[in-house]
Amino acid sequence: MLLEALTSTAPSFPSFRRQCPTTLSCHVSFDGLNTRRNPTMKVTACSKVESSSFPLEKKRKVVEHLCLLKAKQVLSDKDEKDMLDYLYTSQYQMRGIVAVSLGRISNDNVENYTHAVFMRFQTKADVTKFYENPFYSKVLKEHVMPYCHDLVNVDYESEVEDDMLPIFRKGEEFNYGVEFVHLFAFDDSALGAPVEDALASLEKLRKEFPSLIVQSTQGSNFNLSSKEYTHAVVTRFRSSEAFEIFLGSTEYRDVWRSKFERIIRKTLPIHFSVDPVGKEVM
């Protein structure tokens, strides 16, 4: 089995305490995963929340910003690097941006989005200032939209562990992995208790496997200019192997069938390999 093969190679994460190993029953059917610069790692599923790498006693609110781009077919490697570099290093030019990850989307999707940008802010006010910032407007005008013909923005408030590393997504655990962005448009009749129950079930399941997942946030989209999707979930997996195991597991499929399928109008799952591109301020 894939899980057995993974657990037989490479050393484990030193900061993770494996006190309760369990096995996910998984059927892997994902193609074209981008494993560039993803080191082999040891993955052992664990069902105890207290084994997480970060303390869970206190939480802090954060605001997550997602931008999905549709690049033109003529986009060259040089132009793509230029676009991603400017987006990544914009965090050094504007106040309020806590963390950034971005990259080329690895999977085919019905909306044909090609690139994704994730940014974290401290408050909603910081997001408002971000949209109005002249520097960001210039980046979009000169280094993004010349290469893209469409984009969608989603913003939501969530909570993370009240500690420097998880808030700023710093440290060895955040250097590499797979960013999984899942956008949802729930039926209007399901908004409220059914949606809250579905998202709570997903959150509970994710917390049971900290050896696969570094961090996950979710929330309701409050971006008034882009209401195509009502909710979003962003999950950082430790590796492409961990991503495959979790999404292919029986546990995940059961939650999806029992909680989500009947109340979803539209859904967009995309993922990209984490690979920092910006080293110098542009």
Residue-wise pLDDT tens digits, 158-200:
999 999 999 999 999 999 999 999 999 999 999 999 999 999 9
Starting at the earlier edge strand, list the strands of the sheet with 231-237. Answer: 213-220, 231-237, 178-186, 264-273
What pLDDT does residue 35 have? 36
Cβ 268 vs Cβ 71: under 8 Å: no
pLDDT for residue 155 is more than 90: yes
What pLDDT does residue 29 have? 40
Name the residue with higher pLDDT: 156 or 20.
156
How far from 120 is each of 169, 225, 248, CA to CA, in Å? 9, 19, 28
pLDDT for residue 46 is more than 60: no
d(CA 255, CA 235): 16
pLDDT for residue 53 is more than 90: no
pLDDT for residue 42 is more than 80: no
Taking only the tens place, the pLDDT of each residue in 232-250 is 999 999 999 999 999 999 9
**CATH 3.30.70.100 holds for 49-273:** yes
Query: Among the listed ranges 95-99, 205-209, 224-228, which one has the minimum average pLDDT value?
Result: 224-228
d(CA 173, CA 96): 23
What pLDDT does residue 45 have? 46
Name the residue with higher pLDDT: 128 or 275.
128
What pLDDT does residue 14 have? 34
Average pLDDT of the chain is 83
Confidence of residue 21 (pLDDT cuts 50, 70, 90): very low
Cβ 19 vs Cβ 46: under 8 Å: yes
What pLDDT does residue 225 have? 87
pLDDT for residue 34 is more than 90: no
Q: How many Cβ atoms sit within 10 Å of the Cβ of residue 115?
A: 24
Secondary element (H or E) of residue 166? helix 164-168
d(CA 34, CA 106): 6
pLDDT for residue 30 is more than 50: no
Confidence of residue 226 (pLDDT cuts 50, 70, 90): confident
**β-strands 97-104, 115-121: how paired?**
antiparallel
Confidence of residue 13 (pLDDT cuts 50, 70, 90): very low
For the chain, the straight-line distance linking the first and the last C-alpha, in angstroms and rounded, comes to: 46
What pLDDT does residue 24 have? 53
Confidence of residue 2 (pLDDT cuts 50, 70, 90): very low
Average pLDDT over residues 126-153: 96
What pLDDT does residue 9 have? 34
